[in-house]
A = this chain, B = another copy of it.
Amino acid sequence: MSNTAPILLNGEWKAAQHSETFTAQNPITQEALPGSYPVSTWEDCDAALTAAAAAADELAPTSSGQIAQFLRRFADLMEQHRESLGQLASRESGLPAEHRLAGREMDRTTDQIRQAADAAEQRSWKQISIETKRDLRSMLAPIGPVAIFSPNNFPFSWNTLSGGDFASAIAAGNPVIAIANSAAPGTTQALAELAFQAAQAAELPAAMVQLLYRLNHEDGKRLVADPRLGATAFTGSTAAGLALKAAADQAGKPIYVSLSSVNPLVFLPGAIREHGEQLVNRYSNVCLKGTGQFCTQPGLAIVIDGEASQRFIAAITAKFNAATPGTLGSQKTLDNLVQQINVLKQAGGKVISDAGQAPGAGFSHPNTLFQVSGADFLASPQALQTEAFGNTALFVVCQDVAEAKSVIDALHGQLAGGIYSSTDGSDAAAYNELAPRLRRKVGRFMNDKMPNGMPVSIGMVHGGPFPASGHPGFTSVGIPHALRRFAMLQSYDQVRPAHLPEELKNKNPTGNLWRNINGTWTTADIPAD
Protein backbone atom coordinates (compact mmCIF):
# COMPACT_ATOMS: atom_id res chain seq x y z
CA MET A 1 0.00 0.00 0.00
CA SER A 2 1.09 3.52 -0.67
CA ASN A 3 1.41 6.15 2.03
CA THR A 4 -0.65 8.53 -0.03
CA ALA A 5 -3.45 10.10 2.02
CA PRO A 6 -6.93 8.68 1.44
CA ILE A 7 -9.74 10.75 -0.03
CA LEU A 8 -13.20 10.89 1.55
CA LEU A 9 -15.59 9.46 -1.00
CA ASN A 10 -19.20 8.58 -0.29
CA GLY A 11 -18.59 7.95 3.38
CA GLU A 12 -15.35 6.02 3.04
CA TRP A 13 -11.76 7.01 3.47
CA LYS A 14 -10.21 5.27 0.49
CA ALA A 15 -7.24 5.31 -1.82
CA ALA A 16 -7.56 7.86 -4.60
CA GLN A 17 -7.48 7.07 -8.29
CA HIS A 18 -4.50 9.25 -8.99
CA SER A 19 -1.66 9.83 -11.37
CA GLU A 20 0.47 12.15 -9.30
CA THR A 21 0.99 13.10 -5.68
CA PHE A 22 2.07 16.30 -3.99
CA THR A 23 3.33 17.45 -0.63
CA ALA A 24 2.87 20.67 1.31
CA GLN A 25 5.66 22.90 2.51
CA ASN A 26 6.26 24.78 5.74
CA PRO A 27 6.36 28.40 4.53
CA ILE A 28 8.74 29.46 7.28
CA THR A 29 11.26 26.62 7.20
CA GLN A 30 10.56 25.87 3.54
CA GLU A 31 10.82 22.16 4.40
CA ALA A 32 8.46 19.61 2.89
CA LEU A 33 5.84 18.60 5.43
CA PRO A 34 5.07 14.93 6.10
CA GLY A 35 2.25 13.42 4.11
CA SER A 36 1.77 12.71 0.46
CA TYR A 37 -1.52 13.70 -1.19
CA PRO A 38 -3.08 12.49 -4.41
CA VAL A 39 -4.01 14.48 -7.51
CA SER A 40 -7.28 12.70 -8.23
CA THR A 41 -8.18 11.62 -11.73
CA TRP A 42 -11.63 12.06 -13.23
CA GLU A 43 -12.77 8.70 -11.82
CA ASP A 44 -12.73 10.18 -8.32
CA CYS A 45 -14.65 13.28 -9.42
CA ASP A 46 -17.15 11.15 -11.22
CA ALA A 47 -17.72 8.92 -8.19
CA ALA A 48 -17.96 11.95 -5.90
CA LEU A 49 -20.53 13.60 -8.19
CA THR A 50 -22.68 10.49 -8.38
CA ALA A 51 -22.58 10.04 -4.63
CA ALA A 52 -23.28 13.73 -3.99
CA ALA A 53 -26.23 13.75 -6.37
CA ALA A 54 -27.67 10.71 -4.60
CA ALA A 55 -27.12 12.43 -1.25
CA ALA A 56 -28.92 15.53 -2.54
CA ASP A 57 -31.87 13.30 -3.49
CA GLU A 58 -31.82 11.62 -0.13
CA LEU A 59 -31.82 14.82 1.93
CA ALA A 60 -35.40 15.09 2.99
CA PRO A 61 -37.08 18.45 2.91
CA THR A 62 -37.27 18.12 6.68
CA SER A 63 -33.54 17.69 7.21
CA SER A 64 -32.91 21.22 8.46
CA GLY A 65 -32.76 20.01 12.06
CA GLN A 66 -30.19 17.36 11.21
CA ILE A 67 -28.12 19.86 9.30
CA ALA A 68 -28.12 22.24 12.24
CA GLN A 69 -27.13 19.37 14.53
CA PHE A 70 -24.29 18.44 12.18
CA LEU A 71 -22.92 21.97 12.00
CA ARG A 72 -23.09 22.50 15.77
CA ARG A 73 -21.41 19.18 16.46
CA PHE A 74 -18.72 20.02 13.93
CA ALA A 75 -18.07 23.38 15.59
CA ASP A 76 -17.80 21.63 18.97
CA LEU A 77 -15.35 19.08 17.59
CA MET A 78 -13.23 21.78 16.02
CA GLU A 79 -12.98 23.56 19.32
CA GLN A 80 -12.13 20.32 21.10
CA HIS A 81 -9.23 19.95 18.66
CA ARG A 82 -8.37 23.63 18.76
CA GLU A 83 -4.72 23.16 19.73
CA SER A 84 -3.83 20.35 17.33
CA LEU A 85 -5.66 22.00 14.44
CA GLY A 86 -3.90 25.26 15.21
CA GLN A 87 -0.49 23.58 15.13
CA LEU A 88 -1.29 21.76 11.90
CA ALA A 89 -2.59 24.88 10.16
CA SER A 90 0.33 26.92 11.43
CA ARG A 91 2.81 24.49 9.91
CA GLU A 92 1.00 24.67 6.56
CA SER A 93 0.35 28.43 6.49
CA GLY A 94 3.19 30.02 8.43
CA LEU A 95 0.60 31.90 10.50
CA PRO A 96 0.93 31.83 14.30
CA ALA A 97 -1.06 29.09 16.04
CA GLU A 98 -1.55 30.91 19.29
CA HIS A 99 -3.88 33.91 19.30
CA ARG A 100 -4.41 33.88 15.52
CA LEU A 101 -5.24 30.32 14.43
CA ALA A 102 -6.20 28.43 17.59
CA GLY A 103 -7.56 31.68 18.96
CA ARG A 104 -9.37 34.42 17.03
CA GLU A 105 -9.68 32.57 13.76
CA MET A 106 -10.98 29.39 15.35
CA ASP A 107 -13.55 31.44 17.27
CA ARG A 108 -14.65 33.27 14.15
CA THR A 109 -14.92 30.02 12.22
CA THR A 110 -17.01 28.16 14.77
CA ASP A 111 -19.18 31.24 15.31
CA GLN A 112 -19.82 31.34 11.57
CA ILE A 113 -20.67 27.63 11.51
CA ARG A 114 -23.06 28.05 14.46
CA GLN A 115 -24.74 31.02 12.79
CA ALA A 116 -25.18 28.82 9.71
CA ALA A 117 -26.70 26.12 11.91
CA ASP A 118 -29.18 28.61 13.33
CA ALA A 119 -30.09 29.78 9.82
CA ALA A 120 -30.56 26.18 8.65
CA GLU A 121 -32.81 25.49 11.58
CA GLN A 122 -34.87 28.67 11.43
CA ARG A 123 -35.15 28.60 7.60
CA SER A 124 -36.04 32.28 7.33
CA TRP A 125 -33.30 32.68 4.71
CA LYS A 126 -35.53 30.85 2.23
CA GLN A 127 -37.35 34.02 1.27
CA ILE A 128 -40.72 32.34 1.53
CA SER A 129 -43.35 34.23 -0.43
CA ILE A 130 -47.00 33.28 -0.52
CA GLU A 131 -49.91 34.77 -2.39
CA THR A 132 -52.99 33.15 -0.94
CA LYS A 133 -55.56 34.40 -3.45
CA ARG A 134 -54.08 32.52 -6.38
CA ASP A 135 -52.35 29.93 -4.19
CA LEU A 136 -48.85 30.66 -5.44
CA ARG A 137 -46.06 29.88 -3.01
CA SER A 138 -42.34 30.23 -3.59
CA MET A 139 -39.14 29.68 -1.69
CA LEU A 140 -35.44 29.11 -2.07
CA ALA A 141 -34.55 25.41 -2.08
CA PRO A 142 -31.23 23.52 -2.21
CA ILE A 143 -29.46 23.88 -5.57
CA GLY A 144 -27.69 20.51 -5.48
CA PRO A 145 -24.10 19.42 -4.77
CA VAL A 146 -21.66 22.30 -4.31
CA ALA A 147 -17.98 22.15 -5.26
CA ILE A 148 -15.73 24.39 -3.18
CA PHE A 149 -12.25 25.66 -4.03
CA SER A 150 -10.70 27.83 -1.33
CA PRO A 151 -7.60 29.81 -0.47
CA ASN A 152 -5.30 29.27 2.52
CA ASN A 153 -4.91 32.83 3.81
CA PHE A 154 -7.44 32.02 6.52
CA PRO A 155 -6.76 28.33 7.15
CA PHE A 156 -10.01 27.80 9.09
CA SER A 157 -12.45 30.58 8.31
CA TRP A 158 -11.97 30.22 4.53
CA ASN A 159 -11.05 26.53 4.50
CA THR A 160 -12.84 24.53 1.85
CA LEU A 161 -14.06 22.31 4.69
CA SER A 162 -14.89 24.76 7.46
CA GLY A 163 -15.14 28.23 5.93
CA GLY A 164 -18.04 30.41 4.97
CA ASP A 165 -18.67 28.72 1.62
CA PHE A 166 -18.77 25.32 3.30
CA ALA A 167 -21.02 26.46 6.12
CA SER A 168 -23.46 28.21 3.81
CA ALA A 169 -23.59 25.47 1.16
CA ILE A 170 -24.35 22.88 3.86
CA ALA A 171 -26.81 25.12 5.72
CA ALA A 172 -28.70 25.65 2.47
CA GLY A 173 -29.14 21.88 2.34
CA ASN A 174 -26.52 20.80 -0.16
CA PRO A 175 -23.83 18.10 -0.11
CA VAL A 176 -20.31 19.49 -0.55
CA ILE A 177 -17.45 18.26 -2.70
CA ALA A 178 -14.43 19.96 -1.13
CA ILE A 179 -11.23 20.43 -3.09
CA ALA A 180 -8.44 21.14 -0.62
CA ASN A 181 -6.13 24.07 -1.06
CA SER A 182 -2.83 22.52 -2.18
CA ALA A 183 -0.95 24.34 0.58
CA ALA A 184 -3.24 22.93 3.26
CA PRO A 185 -3.98 19.27 2.60
CA GLY A 186 -3.25 18.15 6.16
CA THR A 187 -5.46 20.75 7.82
CA THR A 188 -8.23 20.02 5.36
CA GLN A 189 -7.96 16.28 5.92
CA ALA A 190 -8.15 16.77 9.70
CA LEU A 191 -11.21 19.01 9.31
CA ALA A 192 -12.83 16.48 6.99
CA GLU A 193 -12.42 13.77 9.61
CA LEU A 194 -14.25 15.89 12.17
CA ALA A 195 -16.91 17.00 9.70
CA PHE A 196 -17.58 13.46 8.58
CA GLN A 197 -17.86 12.29 12.17
CA ALA A 198 -20.34 15.08 12.91
CA ALA A 199 -22.36 14.38 9.75
CA GLN A 200 -22.60 10.70 10.64
CA ALA A 201 -23.71 11.54 14.16
CA ALA A 202 -26.51 13.61 12.64
CA GLU A 203 -27.44 10.68 10.38
CA LEU A 204 -26.94 12.68 7.22
CA PRO A 205 -26.21 10.90 3.92
CA ALA A 206 -22.73 9.39 3.64
CA ALA A 207 -21.77 11.77 0.82
CA MET A 208 -22.83 14.95 2.63
CA VAL A 209 -19.15 15.90 2.84
CA GLN A 210 -16.52 14.55 0.45
CA LEU A 211 -12.88 15.51 0.09
CA LEU A 212 -10.46 15.46 -2.83
CA TYR A 213 -7.07 17.10 -2.45
CA ARG A 214 -6.33 18.32 -5.91
CA LEU A 215 -7.49 18.04 -9.54
CA ASN A 216 -5.76 18.87 -12.77
CA HIS A 217 -7.14 21.87 -14.65
CA GLU A 218 -9.15 19.85 -17.14
CA ASP A 219 -10.89 17.83 -14.46
CA GLY A 220 -11.61 20.99 -12.51
CA LYS A 221 -13.35 22.49 -15.52
CA ARG A 222 -15.24 19.27 -16.13
CA LEU A 223 -16.36 19.14 -12.50
CA VAL A 224 -17.85 22.65 -12.38
CA ALA A 225 -19.75 22.05 -15.63
CA ASP A 226 -21.11 18.62 -14.73
CA PRO A 227 -24.91 18.24 -14.90
CA ARG A 228 -24.92 16.52 -11.50
CA LEU A 229 -23.43 19.58 -9.81
CA GLY A 230 -25.56 22.39 -8.42
CA ALA A 231 -23.02 25.21 -8.08
CA THR A 232 -19.40 26.07 -7.40
CA ALA A 233 -17.68 28.50 -5.04
CA PHE A 234 -14.16 29.59 -5.89
CA THR A 235 -11.82 31.99 -4.11
CA GLY A 236 -8.28 32.16 -5.42
CA SER A 237 -6.13 33.22 -8.32
CA THR A 238 -7.64 35.13 -11.20
CA ALA A 239 -6.32 32.77 -13.87
CA ALA A 240 -7.68 29.61 -12.25
CA GLY A 241 -10.94 31.32 -11.35
CA LEU A 242 -11.55 32.63 -14.85
CA ALA A 243 -10.90 29.21 -16.37
CA LEU A 244 -13.40 27.55 -14.03
CA LYS A 245 -15.89 30.37 -14.52
CA ALA A 246 -15.77 30.03 -18.30
CA ALA A 247 -16.41 26.29 -18.07
CA ALA A 248 -19.29 26.66 -15.60
CA ASP A 249 -20.84 29.60 -17.46
CA GLN A 250 -20.86 27.68 -20.69
CA ALA A 251 -22.77 24.86 -19.02
CA GLY A 252 -25.16 27.30 -17.35
CA LYS A 253 -24.01 26.25 -13.86
CA PRO A 254 -23.82 28.98 -11.21
CA ILE A 255 -20.29 29.69 -10.05
CA TYR A 256 -19.38 32.26 -7.41
CA VAL A 257 -15.87 33.55 -7.83
CA SER A 258 -13.86 36.03 -5.83
CA LEU A 259 -10.90 37.02 -7.94
CA SER A 260 -9.21 40.29 -7.21
CA SER A 261 -9.76 43.49 -5.29
CA VAL A 262 -7.57 46.36 -4.13
CA ASN A 263 -10.19 47.84 -1.76
CA PRO A 264 -9.65 51.57 -2.23
CA LEU A 265 -9.53 53.85 0.76
CA VAL A 266 -9.77 57.61 0.33
CA PHE A 267 -8.09 59.74 3.01
CA LEU A 268 -9.50 63.25 2.69
CA PRO A 269 -7.40 66.20 3.89
CA GLY A 270 -9.47 66.97 6.97
CA ALA A 271 -9.25 63.37 8.19
CA ILE A 272 -5.47 63.42 7.80
CA ARG A 273 -5.35 66.71 9.68
CA GLU A 274 -7.56 65.45 12.49
CA HIS A 275 -6.27 61.88 12.90
CA GLY A 276 -3.11 61.66 10.82
CA GLU A 277 -0.97 59.79 13.30
CA GLN A 278 -3.65 57.28 14.19
CA LEU A 279 -4.34 56.66 10.51
CA VAL A 280 -0.64 56.12 9.77
CA ASN A 281 -0.55 53.37 12.39
CA ARG A 282 -3.81 51.78 11.43
CA TYR A 283 -3.20 51.78 7.72
CA SER A 284 0.35 50.40 8.01
CA ASN A 285 -0.79 47.70 10.40
CA VAL A 286 -3.67 46.64 8.21
CA CYS A 287 -1.50 46.50 5.10
CA LEU A 288 1.20 44.40 6.72
CA LYS A 289 -0.76 42.26 9.21
CA GLY A 290 -0.81 38.58 8.23
CA THR A 291 1.68 39.71 5.56
CA GLY A 292 -1.19 41.53 3.89
CA GLN A 293 -2.78 38.28 2.80
CA PHE A 294 -6.46 39.00 2.99
CA CYS A 295 -9.07 39.70 0.35
CA THR A 296 -10.03 43.10 1.70
CA GLN A 297 -6.51 44.37 2.30
CA PRO A 298 -6.75 48.08 1.37
CA GLY A 299 -4.01 48.01 -1.26
CA LEU A 300 -5.03 51.25 -2.96
CA ALA A 301 -5.02 54.52 -1.03
CA ILE A 302 -6.20 57.76 -2.59
CA VAL A 303 -5.17 61.16 -1.22
CA ILE A 304 -5.42 64.75 -2.43
CA ASP A 305 -1.98 66.28 -2.90
CA GLY A 306 -0.70 68.70 -0.29
CA GLU A 307 1.89 69.03 2.37
CA ALA A 308 -0.08 67.09 4.97
CA SER A 309 -0.70 64.24 2.53
CA GLN A 310 2.98 64.09 1.67
CA ARG A 311 3.84 63.86 5.38
CA PHE A 312 1.17 61.20 5.79
CA ILE A 313 2.68 59.09 3.04
CA ALA A 314 6.18 59.63 4.37
CA ALA A 315 5.11 58.41 7.80
CA ILE A 316 3.52 55.31 6.32
CA THR A 317 6.66 54.72 4.27
CA ALA A 318 8.67 54.81 7.48
CA LYS A 319 6.34 52.22 9.00
CA PHE A 320 6.75 49.96 5.97
CA ASN A 321 10.52 50.30 6.26
CA ALA A 322 10.56 49.64 9.99
CA ALA A 323 8.33 46.56 10.04
CA THR A 324 9.90 43.13 9.59
CA PRO A 325 8.34 41.56 6.50
CA GLY A 326 6.12 38.61 7.31
CA THR A 327 6.01 35.17 5.75
CA LEU A 328 3.77 34.45 2.78
CA GLY A 329 1.67 31.30 2.61
CA SER A 330 3.52 29.47 -0.13
CA GLN A 331 6.16 29.63 -2.83
CA LYS A 332 3.32 30.27 -5.27
CA THR A 333 2.06 33.25 -3.27
CA LEU A 334 5.57 34.68 -3.25
CA ASP A 335 6.05 34.08 -6.98
CA ASN A 336 2.71 35.72 -7.73
CA LEU A 337 3.55 38.71 -5.54
CA VAL A 338 6.87 39.25 -7.29
CA GLN A 339 5.10 39.12 -10.63
CA GLN A 340 2.31 41.48 -9.51
CA ILE A 341 4.84 43.95 -8.13
CA ASN A 342 6.56 43.90 -11.50
CA VAL A 343 3.28 44.72 -13.23
CA LEU A 344 2.89 47.73 -10.94
CA LYS A 345 6.48 48.82 -11.58
CA GLN A 346 6.15 48.49 -15.32
CA ALA A 347 2.96 50.51 -15.25
CA GLY A 348 4.83 53.38 -13.63
CA GLY A 349 4.42 52.59 -9.93
CA LYS A 350 7.29 54.26 -8.07
CA VAL A 351 8.57 52.24 -5.09
CA ILE A 352 8.88 54.63 -2.14
CA SER A 353 9.64 52.09 0.59
CA ASP A 354 13.14 50.70 1.07
CA ALA A 355 13.48 48.37 -1.90
CA GLY A 356 16.54 46.79 -0.33
CA GLN A 357 14.80 45.86 2.92
CA ALA A 358 15.77 42.39 4.12
CA PRO A 359 12.99 39.87 3.69
CA GLY A 360 11.57 37.99 6.68
CA ALA A 361 11.55 34.27 7.41
CA GLY A 362 10.83 31.72 4.70
CA PHE A 363 8.69 32.80 1.76
CA SER A 364 9.00 36.51 2.23
CA HIS A 365 9.27 39.74 0.31
CA PRO A 366 10.23 43.25 1.45
CA ASN A 367 7.29 45.45 2.45
CA THR A 368 6.62 47.42 -0.69
CA LEU A 369 4.90 50.78 -0.87
CA PHE A 370 4.21 52.39 -4.25
CA GLN A 371 3.23 55.91 -5.19
CA VAL A 372 1.79 57.28 -8.43
CA SER A 373 0.15 60.54 -9.37
CA GLY A 374 -3.51 60.65 -10.33
CA ALA A 375 -2.43 61.31 -13.91
CA ASP A 376 -0.11 58.28 -13.84
CA PHE A 377 -2.98 56.15 -12.55
CA LEU A 378 -5.36 57.37 -15.23
CA ALA A 379 -2.79 56.53 -17.89
CA SER A 380 -2.72 52.85 -16.82
CA PRO A 381 -5.77 52.23 -14.67
CA GLN A 382 -5.95 48.52 -15.39
CA ALA A 383 -2.35 47.67 -14.58
CA LEU A 384 -2.20 49.99 -11.58
CA GLN A 385 -5.16 48.33 -9.89
CA THR A 386 -3.49 44.92 -10.12
CA GLU A 387 -3.94 43.22 -6.80
CA ALA A 388 -0.50 42.52 -5.34
CA PHE A 389 -1.52 39.91 -2.78
CA GLY A 390 0.75 40.45 0.18
CA ASN A 391 2.55 43.17 2.09
CA THR A 392 2.23 45.97 -0.46
CA ALA A 393 0.14 49.05 -1.09
CA LEU A 394 -0.08 51.84 -3.63
CA PHE A 395 -0.79 55.51 -3.00
CA VAL A 396 -2.50 57.53 -5.70
CA VAL A 397 -1.83 61.21 -5.13
CA CYS A 398 -4.48 63.24 -6.93
CA GLN A 399 -4.07 66.93 -7.63
CA ASP A 400 -7.67 67.66 -6.68
CA VAL A 401 -11.04 66.12 -5.96
CA ALA A 402 -11.97 66.10 -9.64
CA GLU A 403 -8.97 63.94 -10.40
CA ALA A 404 -9.81 61.63 -7.50
CA LYS A 405 -13.27 61.30 -9.02
CA SER A 406 -11.75 60.18 -12.30
CA VAL A 407 -9.51 57.72 -10.49
CA ILE A 408 -12.53 56.21 -8.74
CA ASP A 409 -14.43 56.06 -12.03
CA ALA A 410 -11.53 54.10 -13.53
CA LEU A 411 -11.72 51.37 -10.88
CA HIS A 412 -13.25 48.02 -11.61
CA GLY A 413 -15.45 46.27 -9.05
CA GLN A 414 -14.08 45.93 -5.53
CA LEU A 415 -15.00 43.99 -2.41
CA ALA A 416 -14.67 46.94 -0.06
CA GLY A 417 -13.82 50.61 -0.09
CA GLY A 418 -14.23 53.60 2.11
CA ILE A 419 -13.68 57.24 2.83
CA TYR A 420 -12.07 58.89 5.83
CA SER A 421 -13.34 62.43 6.28
CA SER A 422 -13.09 65.04 8.97
CA THR A 423 -15.67 65.55 11.68
CA ASP A 424 -15.70 69.34 11.23
CA GLY A 425 -17.45 69.41 7.86
CA SER A 426 -14.37 70.58 5.95
CA ASP A 427 -14.37 67.42 3.83
CA ALA A 428 -18.10 67.38 3.21
CA ALA A 429 -18.01 68.69 -0.36
CA ALA A 430 -15.30 66.24 -1.37
CA TYR A 431 -17.12 63.39 0.36
CA ASN A 432 -20.33 64.17 -1.47
CA GLU A 433 -18.53 64.19 -4.80
CA LEU A 434 -16.66 60.94 -4.26
CA ALA A 435 -18.94 58.77 -2.13
CA PRO A 436 -21.67 57.99 -4.71
CA ARG A 437 -19.05 57.01 -7.31
CA LEU A 438 -17.10 54.81 -4.91
CA ARG A 439 -20.35 53.31 -3.55
CA ARG A 440 -21.19 51.83 -6.95
CA LYS A 441 -17.80 50.16 -7.28
CA VAL A 442 -17.75 48.25 -3.99
CA GLY A 443 -19.77 45.60 -2.21
CA ARG A 444 -19.01 47.04 1.22
CA PHE A 445 -18.65 50.76 1.80
CA MET A 446 -17.13 52.13 4.96
CA ASN A 447 -16.77 55.44 6.74
CA ASP A 448 -13.73 56.14 8.88
CA LYS A 449 -12.65 52.55 9.22
CA MET A 450 -10.32 49.93 7.82
CA PRO A 451 -11.75 46.89 6.04
CA ASN A 452 -10.02 44.30 8.19
CA GLY A 453 -12.20 42.33 10.47
CA MET A 454 -15.29 41.20 8.65
CA PRO A 455 -18.10 40.37 11.04
CA VAL A 456 -20.36 37.51 9.96
CA SER A 457 -23.53 39.58 9.99
CA ILE A 458 -26.85 39.94 8.25
CA GLY A 459 -25.65 43.39 7.14
CA MET A 460 -22.29 42.25 5.74
CA VAL A 461 -21.50 42.08 2.01
CA HIS A 462 -18.37 40.37 0.78
CA GLY A 463 -18.93 40.66 -2.92
CA GLY A 464 -19.27 43.44 -5.47
CA PRO A 465 -19.00 43.99 -9.19
CA PHE A 466 -16.61 41.90 -11.26
CA PRO A 467 -13.82 40.94 -10.70
CA ALA A 468 -14.38 41.32 -6.96
CA SER A 469 -17.10 38.74 -7.48
CA GLY A 470 -18.84 37.13 -10.43
CA HIS A 471 -22.27 38.60 -9.62
CA PRO A 472 -22.84 41.73 -7.55
CA GLY A 473 -26.18 40.50 -6.21
CA PHE A 474 -24.62 38.03 -3.78
CA THR A 475 -22.34 37.90 -0.76
CA SER A 476 -19.98 35.15 0.29
CA VAL A 477 -19.81 36.31 3.91
CA GLY A 478 -22.78 37.00 6.12
CA ILE A 479 -25.42 34.68 7.48
CA PRO A 480 -28.07 34.21 6.28
CA HIS A 481 -27.54 35.98 2.93
CA ALA A 482 -24.52 33.86 1.92
CA LEU A 483 -26.85 30.83 1.78
CA ARG A 484 -28.84 32.29 -1.10
CA ARG A 485 -25.97 31.54 -3.49
CA PHE A 486 -26.61 27.85 -3.13
CA ALA A 487 -30.33 27.84 -3.75
CA MET A 488 -32.81 27.69 -6.57
CA LEU A 489 -36.04 29.63 -6.51
CA GLN A 490 -39.03 27.30 -6.65
CA SER A 491 -42.69 28.13 -7.09
CA TYR A 492 -45.56 25.87 -6.09
CA ASP A 493 -48.55 26.75 -8.25
CA GLN A 494 -51.82 25.41 -6.85
CA VAL A 495 -50.07 22.43 -5.38
CA ARG A 496 -52.29 20.37 -3.12
CA PRO A 497 -51.75 21.16 0.58
CA ALA A 498 -50.59 17.63 1.33
CA HIS A 499 -47.94 17.94 -1.36
CA LEU A 500 -46.46 21.22 -0.15
CA PRO A 501 -43.16 21.32 1.71
CA GLU A 502 -43.55 22.06 5.39
CA GLU A 503 -42.34 25.67 5.01
CA LEU A 504 -45.12 26.51 2.55
CA LYS A 505 -48.08 24.95 4.31
CA ASN A 506 -50.64 27.21 5.90
CA LYS A 507 -49.36 26.36 9.35
CA ASN A 508 -46.05 27.96 10.22
CA PRO A 509 -43.93 24.86 10.94
CA THR A 510 -41.93 26.35 13.79
CA GLY A 511 -43.77 29.46 14.85
CA ASN A 512 -40.62 31.51 14.25
CA LEU A 513 -40.19 31.06 10.49
CA TRP A 514 -40.48 34.42 8.73
CA ARG A 515 -42.69 34.31 5.66
CA ASN A 516 -43.93 37.01 3.34
CA ILE A 517 -47.66 36.44 3.03
CA ASN A 518 -49.42 38.70 0.55
CA GLY A 519 -46.72 41.32 1.00
CA THR A 520 -46.56 41.22 4.80
CA TRP A 521 -43.72 39.56 6.70
CA THR A 522 -45.06 37.43 9.52
CA THR A 523 -44.39 34.37 11.62
CA ALA A 524 -48.10 33.64 11.90
CA ASP A 525 -50.03 30.79 10.30
CA ILE A 526 -52.16 31.42 7.25
CA PRO A 527 -55.73 31.30 8.54
CA ALA A 528 -57.93 28.63 6.97
CA ASP A 529 -60.56 30.14 4.66
Using CB atoms and an 8 Å cutoff, list the residues of chain A in contact with chain B. 57, 124, 129-131, 134, 136-138, 140-141, 143-144, 227, 245-246, 249-254, 412-413, 416, 418, 431, 435-437, 439-440, 442-449, 451, 455, 457-461, 463-467, 470-475, 478, 481, 484-485, 487-496, 499, 514, 516, 518-522
Contact = CB atoms under 8 A, between A and B. Distances in A.
Contact of A490 (B445, B457, B466, B520): B445
B499 A435 contact: yes
Contacts of A471: 254, 471
A494 B443 contact: no
Nearest to A432: B499
Nearest to A444: B491
Contact of A129 (B134, B459, B473, B495): B459
Nearest to A455: B134
Contacts of A254: 471-473
Nearest to A472: B488
Nearest to A413: B252
- Helix, strand, loop or mixed for chain A's interface? mixed
Given A251-B466, A253-B466, A467-B252, A458 B516 contact: yes
A383 to B, nearest CB: 16
B129 A491 contact: no
B447 A475 contact: no
A137 B459 contact: yes
A56 to B, nearest CB: 8
Contacts of A440: 144, 488
A129 B481 contact: yes
Contact of A489 (B130, B136, B141, B443): B443
A23 B360 CA distance: 71
